[in-house]
Amino acid sequence: MYDITIIGGGVCGAAIAMYLSKYEVKCCLLEKENDIAIGTTRANSGIVHAGYDPEPDTLMARLNVRGCELIEEICEKLNIPYNKCGSMVISFDAKDEAHLHKLYERGIANGVRGMELLGKDALLEREPNLAPNVTGALFAPSAAVVNPWRLCIGMAETAAKNGVDFFLNSEVTAIEKINGAFAVTAGDKVIDTKYIINAAGLYSDKIAELVGARDFEIFASKGQYFLLDKTSYGIVNTVIFQCPTEKGKGVLVSPTADGNIIVGPNAESGNERDDVSTTREGLDFVAAEAAKTTKLIDYRENIRSFAGLRANSDKPDFIIGESALCRRFINVAGIKSPGLTSSPAIGEYVIEVLEDCGLILTEKENWEYPAPHIGFAELSNEEKAKLCEENRLYGNVICRCNVITEGEILDALENSYIKPTTLDGIKRRTGSGMGRCQGGFCGVKIHEILRKYYGVPAEEILWDKDGSYIVKEKVGESND
Amino acid sequence: MKAMTKRDIVIIGAGPAGMAAAVAAYEAGVTDILLLERDCEAGGILNQCIHNGFGLHRFGEELTGPEYAGKFIEMLKNTSVTLQLGTTVLNIENKIVSAVSVENGFEQIEAKAIILAMGCRERNRGPISVPGDRGRGVFTAGAAQRYLNIEGYLVGKKVVILGSGDIGLIMARRMTLEGAKVLAVSEIMPYSNGLSRNVAQCLEDFGIPLYLSHTVTNVIGKNAVEGIVLSEVGPDMKPIPGTEKHFECDTLLLSVGLVPENELTRTAGIELDPRTRGASVGEDMQTAESGVFACGNVLHVHDLVDYVSAESERAGLNAAKYVLGGCVKDDNDAIPVKNGADISYTVPQRINVANVEKSVDIFMRVRKKMDSADIVVESDGEKIASFPRKFLAPAEMQKITLPKVLLERARGSITVYAAEREEVKE
């Protein structure tokens, strides 16, 4: 019997697992896919919002500002790509400027520190490549960019190291209430648990329905992006937002924590919950909007177009708390933007929620972060030389674009609590295949490393989700 | 950390360019040459090109890729060139090469001259923004070729190919021979981007349809490709609604162009030519940085490896001259070579006439297909040379050989342009 079962291995589930792992409780996390961080978390702008967007006195406002602080600390401990580059909301006319003032006031009310309203000259001095018709900006120095899936994996690894059980390929299909507890059918297992935390993202209303507590609805809202090669790094130095419209926070142009430039997203409604296709119209819209911010985006340098789905809900705020319709069933749902930023604060807040439900939580004595993974490319020449002497496999560069070595790939396989089994699993942990060739060169090599490590036939190695085999069949077998 | 080693010439990449440069530099009298290769054998991309058609110009015989590479590997054996495999160069700064390998770990080598011969890579789905689902099954043709010819696996059984570049055409035939069904090759331009001989031998001989003025407008299949949609494009290259054709397939191969791999060139702070996306070089293949030379596909994408070898031999020879003190870099006296009408690039980008012995070869690509045309060299409004051509196409690299006597007539700069001939009826 588990005390607590978390449903969903996205950034919220992972954060909740990490904070719960600090206490003497038996806890597990169920994820339907073959890896964590594989839904909304992986197709995210990666922006750590400062916190001037949400209306004051909402959960969103409180958790955003707190999450912004916590992420910095977590990234430092776990060596997760993070860059506190600050953000700008830019204005083009008097109406926009009025909006900047409103955001500034809201930021003050929400406790955002260090904001400044910049005039045109001060803005262009910091961001010389912006369109010449900008009139000013709201600058927020506490905003940052983070690698979203690395944040999720880092928190999940911390949870796993400190005793949380992770079950992958475990889709929840039924929940039964038995004697004041739950029996959760997940994949081929049945998990008995006293509490459930529903962090199922796009599917959280469907999970609530399993206990007869669907009192909210989730709507998938698609956003499409371009990710530009590192050669474009520096066209902007901070996260550049345009003033929000009724369609969302608007298209942003931003550096990423990994040194690329991201452009997007648009906001589409009425999507299927698993439709992450890109469309010509969507991408054209993003490019047209981004052109208002800067003319310097060279789409020949695009290395990947992708789409993500926001888990919007029919409620204005995050839905976090014990369900009114089912005791000990705690929803963490409708985590729209700024969800990624808020995630660690959500983890912290869920502890309060559980205590309010009557759970008694005692802190563990020896909780600690796992050892951070080494990124070879970040090291100095002396450190590189030393590491290669200690382990020669760091001398074998597998991913050319991002200089990811065999040492790092084996580290991800051998020293992960939640082991990657797919090419994308390796990519999410090491950054391989994320460069300009998008795995064209290293895919073959990592495929080979995976099949040797797991001792399985080549045809069984997956790119990503189930069914995403890489090679179809061995040639010439029938002739041998 | 190990002490820095010193070498006369360090060559980066032991593909066809690096090997030819190494042999030529050795033959020109430099014996202290280090050839660095990241793969576990020399030969570069030739090793996975098991089809024939290589070497007709260079060796007067038709060879497979590995055979062509083998000739140079043999030549290297008779030199004092050190071939160091499994070594990845991390950066180049002030002619100091930082590299890493399993064998030596991290090392730094100071070179008198460096030859950049890193080759090119395939353009993939990103720059052309093919819309649709993102399931498995979208490969560059070269990646599929590597899986098939080196690893021994077919990536799919029902294939559509986007782009009619040579690798795509070769793979259409290759996958067909291994039992896959190639349903269509789609080309956005109104003509193929591959060599004419490949269109005939790889598509026509196998009854594989080539859809000109068509592109992929959707990829269907959430976790794995299940189908793709082709649409016809208008003269503006935009898809025409209502022309969609649906193909049920498990794989989409992309053969949509090659991009010189100049990441190291950038770390060295060397100026790139936006037209070739390679370094800008003089007639001696020397880049803007003194003593750093470039050749092969890292400089500009060639159509035939035979021309890569020839160009790289020139780079090797001049690097040797540089080391031995016979080649003085003086770009102030160099005359720029400019693109005129219908020329998309020229290499070299500048010529120092004093360094030219008898003549200089200028390579270029044209912007459009032309039947019967002249490639004209002009300087200061005066035509100094004209080269008739029966046929010009962007897929086929053009070379003109400009004698020194004509070059000496140039004033300030020269401009190269292509002019289609008016048909004169007899």
pLDDT in tens, A201-230: 999 999 999 999 999 999 999 999 999 999
Q: According to the model, what pLDDT value does residue A208 have?
A: 98
Q: Which tokens belong to A378?
A: 């970040």
**What is the number of structural domains in chain A?**
3
- Nearest in space to A311 (alpha carbons), one of A205, A202, A223: A202
Q: How many CA atoms lie within 13 A of B264 on its CB side?
A: 30
The model's pLDDT over A13-24, given as tens digits with 9 standing for 90+, comes to: 999 999 999 999
Domains contained in chain B, number: 3
Inter-chain contact A306–B153, Cβ cutoff 8 Å? no
B340 part of a folded domain = no
Mean pLDDT of A256-263: 97
Nearest CA in chain A to B266: A231
Average pLDDT over residues A248-253: 83
A276 to B136: CB separation less than 8 angstroms, yes or no = no
- Portion 188-247 of B in contact with A at CB < 8 A: 217-219, 222-224, 239
Tell me whether A464 touches chain B (CB under 8 Å): yes
pLDDT per residue as tens digits for the range B118-144: 999 999 988 888 999 999 999 999 999
Confidence (pLDDT) at B222: 93
For A279, which of B131, B152, B153 is closest by C-beta distance? Answer: B131
Instruction: Please check whether residues B392 and B306 belong to one and the same domain.
Output: no
Position B345 in a domain: no
A17: containing domain:
2-41+149-217+315-356
Decide if B148 touches A, using CB distance below 8 A: yes
Residue B133: list chain A partners with CB under 8 A: 276-277
Say if residue A223 is in the same domain as residue A206. no
A165 and A175 inside one domain: yes
Mean of pLDDT values over A113-121: 97
How far is B410 from chain A, CA to nearest CA, in Å? 36
Q: Which residues of A are catalytic?
A: 49
B162 located within any domain: yes
Q: Do B129 and A437 touch (CB under 8 A)?
A: no
CB spacing of B127 vs A300 below 8 angstroms: yes
- Separation CA A165–CA A240 (nearest Å): 39
Is residue A249's pLDDT more than 70? no
Q: Is residue B341 part of a domain?
A: no
Residue numbers of the domain that contains B30: 5-121+259-329
Nearest CB partner across the interface for B88, out of A278, A397, A448: A397
Query: Is A365 a member of any domain?
Result: no
Which sign does the torsion angle of CA A23, A38, A60, A210 carry? negative
Query: Helix, strand, or coil here: B345?
Result: strand
Alpha-carbon distance A69 to A197, whole Å? 24
Q: What is the mean pLDDT of chain A?
A: 96
ipTM above threshold 0.85: yes
Confidence of residue A480 (pLDDT cuts 50, 70, 90): very low
Q: Name the pTM for this structure.
A: 0.95
- The answer to whether residue A451 is domain-embedded is yes
Task: Examine the domain organization and report whether B55 and B166 are in the same domain.
Answer: no
- Residue A220: beta bridge partners? A271, A311
Q: How far is CA A454 from each of CA A36, A206, A269, A458, B209, rounded to the nearest angstrom?
A: 19, 35, 41, 10, 41
User: A139-148, A150-159, A467-476: which range is least confident on average?
Assistant: A467-476
The answer to whether residues B137 and B250 belong to one domain is yes
For residues A122 and A250, membership in a common domain is answered with: yes
Which residue of chain B is at minimal alpha-carbon distance from A439? B143
Asked if residue A295 and residue A229 are part of one domain, the reply reads: yes
Sequential DSSP letters for A262-289: EEE---EEEE-TT---B-HHHHHHHHHH
Judge if A138 and A226 occupy the same domain. Answer: yes
* Mutant choice from A280, A376, A448 vs B, greatest count of B C-beta within 10 A: A280
Enumerate residues 293 to 322 of chain A having a beta carbon within 8 A of any beta carbon in chain B: 299-307
Residue B304 token pair: 């035939």
The reply to whether B290 touches chain A by the CB within 8 Å rule is no
A51 is a domain residue? no
Pair of tokens at residue B166? 């040579």
Helix, strand, or coil here: A321? strand
Which of A104, A142, A137 is CA-nearest to residue A122? A137
Residues B284 and B407 grouped into a single domain: no
Point out the residues of chain B with pLDDT beneath 70: 326-332, 423-426
User: Do B71 and B191 reside in the same domain of the chain?
Assistant: no
The CA distances from residue A328 to A182, A196, A345, B419, in Å, are 9, 6, 20, 80
Distance spanning both ends of chain B, measured CA to CA: 77
Which residue's entry shows tokens 């353009």?
B123
Do both B320 and B249 map to the same domain?
A: no
Q: What would the pLDDT profile of A270-299 be if each residue is shown by its tens digit?
A: 889 999 999 999 999 999 999 999 999 999
pLDDT of residue A247: 63
Two tokens at B394? Answer: 């962007």
Distance CA B234, CA B224 (A): 30
Q: The domain spanning residue A255 has which CATH number?
A: 3.30.9.10
Q: Are residues A436 and A320 in the same domain?
A: no
Asked whether residue B88 is domain-assigned, the answer is: yes
Residues A104 and A225 both lie in one domain: yes
The predicted pLDDT at position B426 comes to 45
If you average pLDDT over residues A386-415, what whole number do you get? 97
Beta-carbon contacts below 8 Å between A and B: 161
Q: Identify whether residues A168 and A208 lie together within a single domain.
A: yes
Using a CB-CB cut-off of 8 Å, the residues of chain B touching A400 are 38, 88
Find the distance separating the first CA and the last CA of chain A, reported in whole Å.
53
Average pLDDT score over residue span A22-47: 97
Residues B219 and B263 in one domain: no
Judge whether A418 lies within some domain.
yes
Tell whether A416 lies on the interface with B, counting CB pairs under 8 A: no
Statement to judge: residues B165 and B246 lie in one domain: yes
Which CATH number goes with the domain that contains B399?
2.60.40
Do A121 and A226 fall within a single domain? yes
- A338 and A265, same structural domain? no
Give the residue from chain B lying closest to A381, CA to CA. Answer: B106
